[in-house]
Amino acid sequence: MLSALLIPLLIAGSPRAQEGCAPHIVRGQVRSCVCALTPEDLGECCDGDETACSYIAGCLERDLGPSPAILPAVREDLAALAGPLDPADAEVALLAAVRTGRVEAVALLLARGVPAEAARERFGSALELAVGNPGPALELATLLLRAGADPNRRIGQLHPLVVATLRGDRELVRLLLQAGADPDAPSGHEGTTALMTAAARGDVEVIRVLLAAMPDPGRPSHGVTAAASLARRRGHEEAAALLEAAAAPAP
């Protein structure tokens, strides 16, 4: 169970959600504040259900605005996406393709020079969408980071590294750290870090990855001692012991 510290960061009824926000995670699935697509919706579209594809495209238009590039991105119509596209439509296509997990479409759009930093205020950045994608998050994030996406850019409440930590995806966490993600970056109104998130979950494997990215884990600014206390309070003994050892002064 997630710490009560983290729950306010995930609910759609937060102040940020009322203003319009980036997709977030609900019960392990990525959800947009306005457009709540499910894996079933996406699967039906992948299977060629035009009604499902049109529904998804219409749903995304509520967040992204009308664009002729959304439906080809949702369908993963590579021929259409390789044709002429207005720069604004090309960015919308990239966001729609990332949101719906269309890896080949994302690769094509990035190869033709669509900025990996594409973002919309009510939708989030491409990388935020990628790390929250319930499907091919690692593949999408890899493509975007290689194309120059900033691993520390945040439009929604949660830093990409915190989202990856919430997923318990150590490979995604490692990828973001290798790309330069700040392990101490705060998220949400409480300033929760990835390490505090992993401690609250008792996720020993992710904690190991995060600690390995810290040259001096015992430095107070890393908050390792606080994370150890949180893990101990939550009953995560192995995680607490690991964090306490990391926080101990070198002999």
Structural domain boundaries of the chain?
1-21+157-251, 22-156
Are 136 and 103 contacting, i.e. CB atoms less than 8 angstroms apart?
yes
- Nearest alpha-carbon partner for 200 in 59, 2, 19, 12: 2
Least Cα distance to 133 among 57, 37, 33 occurs for 37
With a cut of 90, say whether residue 157 has pLDDT above it: no
- What is the per-residue pLDDT across 43-91, written as a single tens digit (0 to 9) for each? 888 888 888 888 889 889 888 999 999 999 999 999 999 999 999 999 9
Phi, psi of 187 (to 5 degrees): -135, 145
Residue 113 above 50 pLDDT? yes
152 by DSSP, 3-state: which? coil
Longest dimension (CA), the chain: 65
Note the CATH number of domain 1-21+157-251: 1.25.40.20
Domain 1-21+157-251 and domain 22-156 have a common topology: yes
pLDDT greater than 80 at residue 3: no
CA count, 13 A, side-chain hemisphere, 179: 24
The reported pTM is 0.83
CA atoms within 13 A on the CB side of 77: 16
Q: How far apart are the first and last CA of the chain?
A: 36
CATH number of 22-156: 1.25.40
